[in-house]
Structure 1
Amino acid sequence: MEAVNTQQTELKKPCINCGAEMKYSPGTKTVLCEYCGHTEEIHLDENGFEELELYPYLKEMGAQRHSEEISMLNCKNCGATQHVEENYKSLHCVYCSMPLVLEDQYKEEWILPGAVLPFQIDKQKSFQIFKKWVNSLWFAPDNLKKAALDPQFTKGLYLPYWTFDAQLQAQYSGQRGEYYYETKRVRNSNGKMVNQRVRKTRWYPASGSVAGFVDDTLVEASKQRKGRVPSKIARWNLKLLQPFNSSFLRGFVTEKYTIPLSQGHLAAKGEAKRIAERWCRQDIGGDTQRVSSMDVQLSEETFKHILLPVYVSSYRYNGKEYNFFVNGENGTISGSRPYSAWKIFFAVLVGLIIIGILVVVGR
């Protein structure tokens, strides 16, 4: 594959008015100077996303096409691999808040993102969501609200994912089950004979084929030793994806993929099989189905490297660190939290007292 010039992701964007750093303004298509208020529009590629052919990449992973070098920092505490822009002021790991040593940075080649879902909410909004979440916690210590929270350790992070597209065809054989009911006499708990309606299934042979387009199978492209982003918040509206432009990354941290394309493809093939089985069951029909054999074929396979937004932070309470995560698109939150042993004890005690009263009254 021939090498071509690619868009750089590390170009600085100074403000033309005051020279300060320009940062992406969440929920817009502009970059903003926080000092003088100057804004500039982000110009997107009119051609939209580019789907890359999968097998040339799997065959020639050393090819330079659609790839570039990026400066990386590895956290020695939790193992997270992240790209921090040269002019990013607070060099701390987004997952564990440990300092990152700038002298430890190194260059790595990566496949350029094909698309990015820009942040839709800003850091201040994410912190408001966190405070509301803290106020809603059951069995939390009363003074948790006064815990030492440092907003500077809340970082906007772009997570790497692979997406895969393919035409799917599958031949299957199996059985279609249809329910019917019979009535039989059984003895109930009181020893009395009663009628009971029992469901049974008649099975009929079934075979056929299904075909369709599998669009944007999403596969995570990184893992960390700690601070794994919870599945509860890992849901984004991919219709909001924009053609990749490095301006969307300004002021944020970008995590490099650590799960290679080949491994991501294996996960996507597993998901394609699950999709194929679901289609086969729909094709079989009836009340229930059995799929005994299935031959799945994928063709015209393409992929993209995409970046998805999340806010990551940690807070300390009674000397212990807790993580929380806010989806940067829709504001969904998930996090670890402390519990009050006294509140739990008194809740259990009150519950036992209520049960005891009910038992006495019921006699």
Structure 2
Amino acid sequence: MDEKLEHRFPCDSCGADMRFAPQQGQLECDHCGSTDVLEGSGHHFSPIREQDFSDALKGQLDASETEQTNVLACTNCGAQVTFESAVHAAECPFCATPVVTGTGTHRRIKPKGLLPFALDEREAKAAMNDWLGQLWFAPNSLQAYARKGRKMEGIYVPYWTFDAATKSTYRGQRGRYYSTTKTVRVNGKSQTRQVRKIRWSAVRGRVARAFDDVLVLASTSLPKRFTDALEPWDLSSLEPYRPAFLAGFRAEAYTVPLEQGFDEARQIMDRVIERDVKFDIGGDAQKITALDTQVSDVTFKHILLPVWLAAYKYRGQTYRFVVNARTGRVQGERPWSAWKITLALLVGALLAGVSGYFYALSEGLI
């Protein structure tokens, strides 16, 4: 039977939609004040089971591992956000572009785990305002506009995680430094100097590593420099996926296919393996001439990580601010204020001139 990602949880008392409250870790009704505790939250009431990568590529996942969702697709930035079937028009939370729904339903791999929101919107706005206050070269009008109280969107961003066992064989060279004495003539006089050289010797060996939860962004709607800068994520605190955690929030659908995600994970693994090999070679310097890695026991999870997002249309352009909803770390885009930059240059030139004047005065040059 097809499953649909449902974010709505009606209140038993009044029927209004409840929302997940990060601070309390429970569902709350803003209409009548009723609450519903999420039993087991924070205690890993059931393990998060990894999924077989090979089975997924062959389309052999069990039907219970997939779900059918309604997706809102933005024609401007390409973001795909899941939404309730009653929604027919909305504004893209990633770029503030008005979009109309109608992309139909999509069958996707179901999330296995998530990190629940730990910061509420008020705390996210405070973190964003603190960050804006440090951007001296941003226009004051943008800072004022962003602080006027525009609502921030709580969004779960999709990621893949990969586990794998690797065994690598390598050939290379180990370098050892040594010094020799060289005689040179300086101003007609002989002088000796120490010259450092390197002696190379051939080596070969094997290294092995088990990778756990290699994290790969499964979306292209946010710049990767933003999402990378929001790390680290406390993946040890992942909760098994339950729709109740999404009540009152949105969830972005993944747009990076599983196989493409693993290609990126392999690049991350390869960089780690290369460091392992150089450590194994030892010496003062290392060269890797051949490296062959066998990968086995590959498993994966589709997980959701929480961010607070604000997208602003300012003078015809979109600017985005993203807050890690677990740690409060902020990243974002901003324009540069021409008059502030000009003022800074003028002040810098003035200070340099004053400094030069007093230096010349102290040296008796004027």
Q: TM-score range by the shorter chain?
A: 0.7 to 0.9
TM-score (structure 2 length as normaliser): 0.87
RMSD: 2.9
Which segment drifts farther, 43-52 or 277-286?
43-52
Which string of whole-angstrom CA distances, capped at 9 and with x for unpartnered residues, describes residues 122-167 of structure 1? 1111111111122222223344443265645411111111111011
Partner of 1:176: 174
Q: Give the unaligned 5+ runs of structure 2.
A: none
Which segment drifts farther, 192-201 or 312-321?
192-201
CA pair 27-214 structure 1, distance change in 2 beyond 3 A? farther
Q: Give the unaligned 5+ runs of structure 1.
A: none
Tell me how far 1:26 sits from its aligned partner: 1.4
CA distance in 2, matches of 1:354, 1:59: 67
Tell me how far 1:350 sits from its aligned partner: 2.3
Query: 2:217 is aligned with what amino acid?
Result: E
Which string of whole-angstrom CA distances, capped at 9 and with x for unpartnered residues, describes residues 205-252 of structure 1? 221111121111111111138798443124312112111111111111
CA distance in 2, matches of 1:191, 1:85: 87
Partner of 2:257: 260
Query: 1:59 is aligned with what amino acid?
Result: K
Query: 1:21 is aligned with what amino acid?
Result: D
> Contact 2:94–2:222 at 8 Å: present in 1 too?
no
Which segment drifts farther, 5-14 or 308-317?
5-14
Partner of 2:157: 159
The aligned runs of 1:1-363 (5 Å cut-off) are: 9-10=5-6, 12-44=8-40, 46-60=45-59, 64-86=63-85, 91-102=90-101, 104-147=102-145, 149=147, 151-184=149-182, 197-224=194-221, 229-318=226-315, 320-360=317-357, 361-362=359-360, 363=365
> Contact 1:148–1:317 at 8 Å: present in 2 too?
no
Equivalenced residue count is: 357
CA distance in 2, matches of 1:112, 1:191: 80
Which segment drifts farther, 176-185 or 241-250?
176-185
> Contact 1:114–1:304 at 8 Å: present in 2 too?
yes
> Contact 1:149–1:316 at 8 Å: present in 2 too?
no
TM-score (structure 1 length as normaliser): 0.88
> Contact 1:167–1:214 at 8 Å: present in 2 too?
yes
> Contact 2:114–2:241 at 8 Å: present in 1 too?
yes
CA distance in 1, matches of 2:321, 2:46: 37
CA distance in 1, matches of 2:289, 2:124: 48
Tell me how far 1:196 sits from its aligned partner: 5.0
